[in-house]
Structure 1
Amino acid sequence: MAQCKDTQTSSSEGWMPPATPRALPLGQANIYPLGEPHAVSVSLPKWDSIIAQSRGEKWVVDQLEWSYPRFHINKPVQDLSDAVLHRLQVSTDCRCMVFASVAAASECLEALRRSDEQKSFTETVRFFMPAESNSNGIAGPHWANFSAVLLAPDLWDEAMAYWRDSGNGLSTRHAEYILTELDYLDSDCAGMLELRTPALRKRGGGICREIPASYQKIQAAESSFSELRDALARLASSNRPGEPPVQPDDVFLFPTGINAVYSLSECLAGSDKTATVAAFGWLYTETVGILRRGSWGEVLSYKSGSEKELESLAETLRSGKKVHALFCEFPSNILLSCPDLRRLRELADEYGFIIACDDSVVGYVNLDALPFVDVMVSSLTKTFSGSSNVMGGSLVVNPSSKHRTTLRSALSAHHKKAQITYFPLDAATLLANNKTMHQRIKQCNENTLPLVRLVSAHPSISAVHHPSTAPTAHNYEAMMRKTEPAGYGNILSIVFRDPRSAEHFFNVLQVCKGSSFGTNFTVAVPYVHHALYSKREKVPRYGVPAHIIRVSVGLEDGGELVGVMEEALREVERFEGGSAGARGVEDVLN
């Protein structure tokens, strides 16, 4: 456990948190070093602040320095939106949402118009670098180009739903760069001539002889794409005998993990509006939303992913029902349960459907599951990065899949049609963060098991979910890599017997609290109130109590983590009116 203490000087490198965890003040970015920009997590240190953010209450929202970019418009993106409205001189009550591509803006506009019975104002405006301001030597896409959707305020919630569920929104680094270039961009609009504006500035009165320093930095970062694909190909390749290695062409990059899910769903559904997809097990809420609102004709739901539901799926297939694809998670995000991938693979081979699996909770370092699925989805925002300062996603096609050629062709075509863009400086940040991943995963795996044992033994707790203790542990172990530092991952979830005790525990627990997981620091969140607040009364019937608390274990000193967890449990005992048979940490851990 001394590793964290010995490497405290590494905090200056941007990935090592202090040895002793602590909760940060409300609204402060959960990131180390503190004060760094582009954080994807924000401190919500009390139960009521989690609920207030889910409700969008002003007293919390106005205090957020940064937040998870799919759920919140962070300042650089808001600044760009405001600059667009000022440039176009549109009505002061108009809202603006910015996207990296024309295709994403068009999709958002279509979604707004489908939902808008009042036919409120909507329009798209394209901003682009004119030839006379372009720089010599710049090839390919100009990263200053972007599109804006203008909309009436009453459509904002619907626009945010598209931003959240598609993962297509502009990143904060990209927005910062565009702001430096905005005055050099022309704007064009098919629907309103008054929104067509010339650039406010020109470079040198003609073709610029020198490439701007800001763009030189972007050009230098563009090599990160191939390096990321190479890294992911190596990580995802199976160690199982006879399995071919993953090739870089099997790897597809996306700006967010949910955008990878969104893109894959649309690729697999294709133009067949009658195709059926199965959602097997407890899936991330946005994944379910993508399947239900997407191009599928029918969505079959097997929420528990149990052996009984596996047999139900088999019966459905035997009856002649054609299923085109099946989406699952391994393990699931919150219950940490694992479907029987071997049996699913047998059914997929027999009945011809595609298995799409999300491994974001534990990742390739811990799992060797790719041979049993056709395509693996990963949120690179999580453990792959760890630093809580960049978003990213990937799809990896199984090189042994009989659908490999079809999947690669469809994904390549979708990338081109959807104009999927990943900003080079985000890719470069992700690549730099990833260099410490094996070291980080080893430490996080080791830090987690003592916490699982500690909370499992406490009488105030009715259930602890973790891949090592779940009823499906045998399914997990069948897919675990046999090489160091593979383990059971760093996510556990805790269910107290009394919901009031859960709230008290969360309020006194001295770790970072708020969005995301897989961060280098420990972060806890009452998952349902954060991610499923509007459905909090429905989800308990599926085994997900509204007061369940997810803990993502970080790199702090292991003994310190046990200490703060034990102290929070002692506070629960005081709250409940006695020791309740409390046990010391030495008894629990031995």
Structure 2
Amino acid sequence: MHFDTLALRATHQPDPTTGAVVSPIHLSTTFARNEANELPANYIYARPNNPTRESLEKAIAALEGGAVGMAFGSGQAAAMTLFQALRPGDHVLLSADAYYGTPALLEQVFHPWGLTYTRVNMNDLDAVESSLHENTRIVWCETPSNPMLSITDLLTVSRLAHEAGAICVCDNTWATPVLQRPIDFNVDVVMHSTTKYFSGHSDVLGGALVFKQDNEFTQRVRLLQGLSGAVPSPFDCWLVSRGIKTLGVRVRAQSLTAQAIAEFLDGHPSVERVHYPGLANHPDRALIQQQMNGPGAMLSVQVNGDATDALQFISRLKLITRATSLGGVESLIEHRASVEGINSTTPKNLLRLSVGLEHADDLIADLAQALR
């Protein structure tokens, strides 16, 4: 099936009892047994499992082409549970250009616990190979990366990981399965912050993991999901499922507008550089065409000058909202280095733009007047 059909089929489950076209929200935290003390549907308590969460997990797994899906209370909760499945002394190889919260999690939580990690430029395949150790258990990719939009060769990196006895994990939040399915390139685990495009309306926090296979490691993560309780509420799951229904049409429409904005900004006299996979001058152009179905709706722009110039530019915007996050129907912009803090390696003149569903001409006009 085409993606839009699959997204609807995966989330459209009429209630068998009432015939309601919209799936009900099962808010119950506990489930009754029959006279024989049996559980009619194998649900016992909401922390390990819930019908609404189970429905979402199956839908996300179907969209990514995986065997098992798991929903979490946030993207960070998903990443944390995956790292918790490792043992003290294990090693993680992490993309140098990754969401700042991922290395922060490794450094502040898991490194004191005994987990080691190395950051590497995933575009340098020789460096990736030489950074793999005997105790490497996870190779963590993020493509397109946040906020520089660099592209990782998933097929090659997953091969290198497997040859070293590790699993390959890809943060697919920015691309979504609309534009990229990492499991098709032999990635073992796909991670999402469902807060972003899956939900699509900036009103729910969530995360997800999708596993290519249901194996011993998958079951360990499932066990930790239930034991830790880092799970979304049934209502949160229902909101994400609702967002999935329009995921394809939203991402494609937002991507078209992002392309127009990137082309407007590229070469503008007040702009130093635009980072966007849809531009012909992107250094990973050939790889983008190989593993992505479209450039996406995220772009970063470096304006001429320093942090002060960047902040003054966004202060003049009238239509685009200055806020952290991405993937919603409204366009958002932020000065990334300010959000990441004093240890940020992001260029001080870089602004990250999440393109929403406003008309392209209106967004471009807003950017143009601010650049003047």
In the alignment, is the contact (CA less than 8 A) between 1:276 and 1:324 conserved in 2? yes
- SS of structure 2 residue aligned to 1:474: helix
CA distance in 2, matches of 1:546, 1:423: 38
- SS of structure 1 residue aligned to 2:179: coil
Match of 2:60 among 225, 228, 232: 232
CA distance in 2, matches of 1:447, 1:356: 30
Give the letter for the 1:345 counterpart.
S
1:274 has 2:92 as partner: no
Structure 2 counterpart of 1:194? none
In the alignment, is the contact (CA less than 8 A) between 1:281 and 1:329 conserved in 2? no
Match of 1:141 among 45, 50, 66: 45
In the alignment, is the contact (CA less than 8 A) between 1:276 and 1:296 conserved in 2? no
Structure 2 counterpart of 1:166? none
Structure 2 counterpart of 1:314? 129
Q: What are the within-5 Å matches in structure 2 for residues 339-350 of structure 1?
A: 339-350=152-163
- SS of structure 2 residue aligned to 1:364: helix
Match of 1:493 among 291, 300, 303: 300
- Tell me the CA shift for residue 343 of structure 1: 1.6
1:460 has 2:270 as partner: yes
Give the letter for the 2:365 counterpart.
G
What are the superposed Cα offsets for residues 294-351 of structure 1, whole Å, 9 maximum, x if unpaired?
144321111x3232xx21232344xx64422111201111001011212212212221
Match of 2:321 among 495, 512, 519: 512
Structure 2 counterpart of 1:255? 73
In the alignment, is the contact (CA less than 8 A) between 2:170 and 2:182 conserved in 1? no
In the alignment, is the contact (CA less than 8 A) between 1:277 and 1:296 conserved in 2? no
Any unmatched runs of 5+ in structure 2? 1-28, 30-39
1:388 has 2:168 as partner: no
CA RMSD of aligned residues (A): 2.3
Give the letter for the 1:528 counterpart.
A
- SS of structure 2 residue aligned to 1:278: strand
Structure 2 counterpart of 1:363? 176
Aligned residues: 324
1:474 has 2:255 as partner: no
Q: What are the within-5 Å matches in structure 2 for residues 567-586 of structure 1?
A: 567-570=369-372
- Tell me the CA shift for residue 142 of structure 1: 7.0
CA distance in 1, matches of 2:205, 2:115: 31
Give the letter for the 1:305 counterpart.
M
Q: What are the within-5 Å matches in structure 2 for residues 69-84 of structure 1?
A: none
Q: 1:365 to 1:140 in 2, by over 3 A?
A: same
Q: TM-score, normalised by structure 2?
A: 0.81
CA distance in 1, matches of 2:335, 2:368: 18
- Tell me the CA shift for residue 488 of structure 1: 0.9
In the alignment, is the contact (CA less than 8 A) between 1:383 and 1:519 conserved in 2? yes
Give the letter for the 2:191 counterpart.
V
In the alignment, is the contact (CA less than 8 A) between 2:60 and 2:69 conserved in 1? yes
CA distance in 2, matches of 1:347, 1:435: 36
What are the superposed Cα offsets for residues 355-410 of structure 1, whole Å, 9 maximum, x if unpaired?
111011121111022233110000100011111110111100014xxxx4122211
Q: 1:464 to 1:437 in 2, by over 3 A?
A: same
CA distance in 1, matches of 2:134, 2:62: 37
Q: 1:381 to 1:236 in 2, by over 3 A?
A: same
Question: What percent identity do the matched residue pairs reach?
Answer: 24
- The structure having more radius of gyration, on CA atoms, is 1
1:333 has 2:155 as partner: no
CA distance in 2, matches of 1:421, 1:314: 35
- Tell me the CA shift for residue 280 of structure 1: 2.0
Match of 2:98 among 283, 293, 297: 283
CA distance in 2, matches of 1:142, 1:228: 14
CA distance in 2, matches of 1:412, 1:364: 22
Give the letter for the 2:338 counterpart.
H
Structure 2 counterpart of 1:105? none
Any unmatched runs of 5+ in structure 1? 1-100, 102-136, 144-218, 238-245, 482-486, 571-590
Match of 1:374 among 176, 181, 188: 188
What are the superposed Cα offsets for residues 185-226 of structure 1, whole Å, 9 maximum, x if unpaired?
xxxxxxxxxxxxxxxxxxxxxxxxxxxxxxxxxx9xx54223
